[in-house]
Chain A
């Protein structure tokens, strides 16, 4: 029987700070470099959430250390991209954590709906 490793329990990371969750969401569908993450987050929130470089890279450092994302070794063709850019990918564990956070938020929304805070779905 595999032993339960608390270090690898996704629940341990919850709730995620908003900026961190945004980054994980941005990386959910494709690998991105830092600036691309910033742009994606801004686009998906209609410009309401603008990650600053300090916040972004601080969060990336923690996500890398926690094993939630990985840095890619391979780079796009240098003709299309700057060599300095580093690309990140959501790890399997990171995906589990992001899903757990999404489920947590969904449960929260369901509860809000049940109490009439937001209109029920027709």
Chain B
């Protein structure tokens, strides 16, 4: 009997443990009875079958719990959901506000996350891409801080390729434009020249034909070309018989050998993606020119080699080369001309990574504000629901049950918000990707993949739990009798709960303050960028890119003939004030950093070296058309033909660099590759050439009419009094009257060209302004909520005060004071937060200090004004209290 008793006691204890798997309310209601039933059956089975009976009973009990416990949980959850939906339906405005709030928060954060995911998190779509490194040369001693992340010359590339210790493979590429003929109308395309092993290194796959192979990359071989999927469809109508087809690229014959898969892009993240790839085919002449740095290099680190080991290998290699280097500054040397390499992915997104992470941080703040706002709404609602909660508690709903109810409500709200948010994110990500407003590399890949959706789900669960918790904390903290008292009506809610809500609003205000300051700084920085004088006047100027095929224009005379004819036609177009030609467009041009001989130059330690950053070829009335001011000498004119003495115009920086304190006029220079001295006939005002936000570098302007290699591609510029875009068709016609086959592209006003160069700062300023305005609106809403609540709570106090002689203005002041305290606290905490965080903005700002006092003060004023306004409405209501009525009520 004793043994039976002990067995029974142990079994009952174990069975009780098993029952823990049921939901608590169910357990509380039926657990005792279930134990009772278990005891009865135990005794019965023990009597019938002994130990075997007990064993069978246990099996049955375990199976029973395994089947029915989940059932009870799900049915309870369904009831909670049903209950929550019913209660949301009863307060549709609350529900809609909360869902929109969370939707905006989750939408904005998911949208930016999808961009960050595509740009920063997703590895490059190449096999083993983490081992790919971009290899550069450097000239640390170059004046003005040295040349960094510089290109390689062909001899350097071959030298590096032979060094087999660091990389298992090293390949090179260069990009450019080319005119394509052989597929209907001639078109201008972006091409990428690649060394033979590049495409296999990238694991590229063709849709048709084959890849470029090392055997194609041999000097003198017939040129081959692999088309991008897009070009194949656009220019060849997706013709599968294109393989073997003969086309002309800049006049040279090439055979189409392959068509790439649709998703292949190299170089990755280019604003103008390559549409065809051709083999590099370095010539013997190119192999002799160490100063001709035009190749970008990509290496794959040898397996098992860490970054540090690779770095050590490269240093040793550079040292070895340095030992046998000639004094020539273009030889690889540890001090004068070293090698560096960085992970390829980092290099692709180098310029935007910081901005992306900043945006993600900003959007995270915005999400927090949205959460706090919803938590506040829920708190206000839970105050209103005190009666319901108190009654439910009083009739036996345990705290766990109520907790679950709140969590379910929170998750339901955040889940609905997430559905809206994902929709917003999808639209937002498409907009960012399609417009590419921020010129962000790889942004076109942004979309909703599993990771992004996972992010949205995780954020919505986290937010649901966070703001679902707020009323729970309050509920747990509040004794039942207080809630029941509260139900009497007048004392709706406690002082403590309002303090909690005030703390939340303060947090919200401080987060909004950080965002406001961030956006204020970026807007100010963008405004400063607008104020930069580009050195020219873009008003009324239209620019058009024209590319001539070297097949039709096989000699310089023919080319010159075309440009001369075009210049004449453009000058005579009705409405054209002046016109000109240029090799490239300011304010952001390709830096050639070409060695340029300066007559009678004496090298001084720490002084400039004989090198010029920018070469610009200019034809027609280029300077007059762009409104570039002359400071000395003259512009090009009719005297400067092919046979006349060779001349050049330099910018003020160039004149100041090489002839400080004296006139540059009459001085002579010999640009890289030139055989004759060119005499300087004019000095012009600096025109931005390295970007609006960068200082102007040295630049020379060569007359197009005198250049040995006349333009193959040039920009035609026409200036008019009115809207320049109206001239587009006339310019196109003028080009096609001379040569119907000449491709015309990039038709833009110079104002658009300038605006494009500022697209990223504009994008950042715009995004942050959007987030901070929304944040400000949400925070104002929060302030309004807390103050109105407090006003309603203190209505009787105000009534009594007014009955005792207080003026309306006193009451107004009292309420506004409460708002001032909230706003002031938010302001101070926000400003401190901004000071702590703004270091991260430094790189994104132009001529604006991240701690700019004016921005801090200005944004503080905005926040204060908005929160005062949010207080004003409830404060006015407080002054409307009728003392007589209040006293009667008392």
Contacts and interface: CB of A to CB of B under 8 A. Distances in A.
A54 B64 contact: yes
Nearest to A59: B68
Given A54-B64, A54-B67, A57-B34, A35 B26 contact: no
Nearest to B33: A34
Given A35-B40, A61-B26, A54 B33 contact: no
Contacts, number: 56
B65 interface: yes
A85 B39 CA distance: 12
A85 B64 contact: no
B30 A60 contact: yes
Q: Considering residues A53, A61, A84, which has the most beta carbons from chain B within 10 angstroms of its beta carbon?
A: A53
A121 B369 CA distance: 76
A38 B68 CA distance: 16
A84 B33 contact: yes
B799 to A, nearest CB: 46
B33 A85 contact: yes
Interface string A76-115: 0000001011100000000000000000000000000000
A55 B68 contact: yes
A35 B69 contact: no
Nearest to A52: B64
B68 A35 contact: no
Contacts of A34: 33-34, 36-37
Interface string B666-686: 000000000000000000000
A98 to B, nearest CB: 22
B36 A52 contact: no
B71 interface: yes
A58 interface: yes
A56 B26 CA distance: 12
Contacts of A86: 33
Contact of B33 (A52, A55, A57, A58): A57
Interface string A37-80: 01000000000000011111110110000000000000000000
Contacts of A55: 64, 67-68
B29 interface: yes
A84 B71 CA distance: 24
Interface string A6-18: 0000000000000
Interface string B69-95: 101100100000000000000000000
B32 A84 contact: yes
B431 interface: no
Contacts of B38: 53
Interface in B20-73: 22, 26, 29-30, 32-38, 40-41, 60-61, 63-65, 67-69, 71-72
A53 B30 CA distance: 9
Q: Considering residues A38, A54, A57, which has the most beta carbons from chain B within 10 angstroms of its beta carbon?
A: A54
B372 to A, nearest CB: 38
B64 A53 contact: yes
B36 A35 contact: yes
A54 B36 contact: no
A113 B37 CA distance: 40
A7 B64 CA distance: 31
A54 to B, nearest CB: 3
Contact of B69 (A33, A54, A84): A54
Q: For chain A, what secondary structure do more than half of its interface residues adopt (helix, strand, loop), or is it mixed?
A: helix
Contacts of B63: 52
A73 B69 CA distance: 27
A61 B69 CA distance: 13
A122 B783 CA distance: 84
Given A55-B64, A61-B26, A84-B32, A38 B71 contact: no
A58 B40 contact: no
Contacts of A56: 37
B29 A61 contact: yes
Contact of B30 (A35, A38, A61): A61
Contacts of A57: 26, 30, 33-34
Q: Considering residues B26, B30, B61, B64, which has the most beta carbons from chain A within 10 angstroms of its beta carbon?
A: B30
A86 B35 CA distance: 13
Given A61-B26, A61-B30, A84 B68 contact: no
B65 A84 contact: no
A82 B69 contact: no
A38 B72 contact: no
Nearest to B72: A58
Contacts of B68: 52, 54-55, 58
Nearest to A50: B60
Contact of B60 (A33, A52, A58, A85): A52
Contacts of B75: 58
Nearest to A62: B75
A57 B36 CA distance: 12
Nearest to A86: B33
Given A35-B40, A61-B26, A61-B29, A53 B71 contact: no
B814 to A, nearest CB: 51
A57 to B, nearest CB: 4
A34 B739 CA distance: 99
Q: Considering residues B36, B41, B60, which has the most beta carbons from chain A within 10 angstroms of its beta carbon?
A: B36
Contacts of B34: 34, 53-54, 57
Given A52-B60, A57-B30, A35 B37 contact: yes
Nearest to B71: A58
Interface in B626-652: none
B65 A54 contact: yes
A53 B26 contact: no
A34 B68 CA distance: 16
Contacts of B29: 61
Contact of B36 (A58, A60, A61, A82): A82
A52 B56 CA distance: 13
A121 to B, nearest CB: 38
A44 B863 CA distance: 77
Interface in B488-508: none
A35 B61 CA distance: 14
Nearest to B40: A35
Contacts of A61: 26, 29-30, 72
Contacts of B32: 84
A55 B65 CA distance: 9
B69 A85 contact: no
A85 B35 CA distance: 10
Contacts of A84: 32-33, 35-36
B79 to A, nearest CB: 9
A33 to B, nearest CB: 8
Interface of B: 22, 26, 29-30, 32-38, 40-41, 60-61, 63-65, 67-69, 71-72, 75
Given A34-B34, A85-B33, 8 more contacts: A34-B33, A52-B64, A54-B71, A55-B67, A58-B72, A58-B75, A61-B72, A85-B36
Sorted nearest first, the 10 A-B pairs with minimum C-beta distance are A54-B68, A52-B64, A57-B30, A54-B64, A53-B34, A84-B32, A35-B37, A53-B37, A35-B40, A84-B36
25 contacts: A34-B36, A35-B37, A52-B60, A52-B61, A52-B68, A53-B34, A53-B37, A54-B22, A54-B34, A54-B64, A54-B65, A54-B67, A55-B64, A55-B68, A57-B26, A57-B30, A58-B26, A58-B68, A58-B71, A58-B72, A60-B30, A82-B36, A84-B33, A84-B36, A85-B33
